[in-house]
Structure 1
Amino acid sequence: MTGPEQLAVVGAGLGAGILTSTVGVASLLSFPVLIALGIPPVVANASNTLGLLPGALSGAFGYRRELREVPRRQVVVVVLVCAVGAIGGAALLLALPSRVFASAAPWLILFTCLTVGVQPWISRWLRSHSQHPHDLRRSMTPATIAGTALTGVYGGYFGAGAGVMMMAVLGLGLDLELRVVNGLKTLALLAANLVAGTIFLFIADLNLPAAALLATGSVIGGYLGAHIGRRLPATYLRTLIVLAGLTAATLMLF
């Protein structure tokens, strides 16, 4: 890579790190940059997953105050379920043609965008029809666990829009503030990327220079993104998440 190309990859990592900790569409920025450099799609995807790991790590560290507000058992369940799902996603990436998931991904993202947008109304409806409407939902239901696992699969396979999906699953299944959901989402996707990245490191073809450049930018961007996500009002953050998800789905469709 030339000097300007290296700077472009670092810049993509910086922007992707910010997106990881805020709206959750990091790969929408970084993956196309790797493709534009002529890196084959599967190699670019695996290298992208590895390169964005430091951004997810610094983002999760930036949200450490929010994560303390979530019961430890719940955090462990979310992380483990997402990580197990990512094993299946990484296996799918290495075994299946990339077009298989790519055809379904935009529609999954559009559905989760809708869910994120209407989540406050759905949550109120669920509470109004609950036997204990004033109790906060703090335990993982089977539906929430299944949604978390499927998001982990998608995150291990491709990941563009996985953050939007995870926000929808956790926001709908648990009564937590949006900033806390954002922190839990960042930690869960860190687990998914860590598992998938480890598998790719030993099995997949990688462009390690590109992954290292992405990592350099993403570690800074992830921490900055956590501070941005914490300060954004919930309505603005929800709007940005929906807009980012719609953009990702539109670009993937067309």
Structure 2
Amino acid sequence: MDVWQALAVLAAGAGAGTINTLVGSGTLFTFPVLLACGVPPVTAAISNSIGLTPGAVAGAIGYRRELAGQRTRLLRFGVMSFLGAITGGTLLLNLPEKVFTSVVPVLILLACLLIVFQPRINAWARGRRAARPNGGPLLPFGVYGAGVYGGYFTAAQGVVLISLLGSSLDEDIQRVNALKNVLASIVNASVATFYILFAEPYWPAAALIAGGSVIGGYLGARFGRRLRPTALRALVVLIGLTAAVQLVLR
């Protein structure tokens, strides 16, 4: 990796840390850059998961005030996120690489669709009123499924979680976003530890993404509410489509 590639990965990490705190699709920033730098797809996914973990934690800490009174939810859904992350990581390491390169373009396209329709999803979620304070008995299984997805490929994990939590909990969207940040952090940290123990990350890329994502996570939590979401979504979708095309061409 030369100097310009390293700077590109660092910048992508900062962008990913910011958008993960706000929405949750930062992998669509970093994954295409790693592919463009010549990192193999599975190695890129592993290194990316490790690198984005510090930024996810920074974003969750930045939203700590909105977590007041949500301890029961954190414990209940955090366990399911952890189990889902380990399941997804196990699938990534044990399935053939051709499965990953075949499935991920579809996952990226689905993630892009989720980002495009996120305003409608949020509007629909705000129109719902949950009958139970913790979302009912099926929500933990949905959180587990989001953890499996996040452990296998992290793009738009946050959008999936916001859709699930927002439609099931009678809460303000900022409190839902704070809960989402913690659950995404649990998934990222769990699968990152799993990969460190059982896989072979490309450490230079992971370190650069980690440094950038911490900066981005802090900025996202501090200034994120001032950004225009439409332009941000458009940029993420454009980058995501670029990644899908790169994988198809490979």
Using structure 2 for the length normalisation, give the TM-score.
0.85
Matched, 1:50 2:50: yes
Structure 1 counterpart of 2:248:
none
Q: Relative to 1, partners in 2 of residues 1:118 and 1:40: Cα closer, same or farther, differing over 3 Å?
A: closer
Matched, 1:150 2:177: no
| 1:81-96 map, 5 Å | 81-96=80-95
Q: Relative to 1, partners in 2 of residues 1:22 and 1:111: Cα closer, same or farther, differing over 3 Å?
A: closer
- Counterpart contact for 2:31–2:243, Cα < 8 Å: no
CA offset digits 1:37-63 (Å, max 9, x no partner): 111111111000000111001101100
Q: Relative to 1, partners in 2 of residues 1:196 and 1:95: Cα closer, same or farther, differing over 3 Å?
A: same
How many corresponding residue pairs?
Answer: 241
5+ residue gaps, structure 1: 128-134
- Give the partner amino acid of 1:27: T
- Counterpart contact for 1:85–1:150, Cα < 8 Å: yes
CA offset digits 1:111-159 (Å, max 9, x no partner): 58647624434553x54xxxxxxx7642132332121111100100011
5+ residue gaps, structure 2: 246-250
Work out which of the residue numbers 109, 116, 120 in structure 2 matches 1:117: 120
Structure 2 counterpart of 1:37:
37
Tell me the C-alpha RMSD between the 2 structures. Answer: 2.5
Structure 2 counterpart of 1:130:
none
Q: Relative to 1, partners in 2 of residues 1:200 and 1:123: Cα closer, same or farther, differing over 3 Å?
A: same
- Give the partner amino acid of 1:148: V
Mapped to 2, the partners of 1:42 and 1:84 lie a distance apart of 21
Identity %: 39
Q: Relative to 1, partners in 2 of residues 1:118 and 1:143: Cα closer, same or farther, differing over 3 Å?
A: same
Q: Relative to 1, partners in 2 of residues 1:242 and 1:150: Cα closer, same or farther, differing over 3 Å?
A: farther
User: Secondary structure at 2:138's aligned position in 1?
Assistant: helix
Q: Relative to 1, partners in 2 of residues 1:179 and 1:199: Cα closer, same or farther, differing over 3 Å?
A: same
Q: Relative to 1, partners in 2 of residues 1:210 and 1:169: Cα closer, same or farther, differing over 3 Å?
A: same
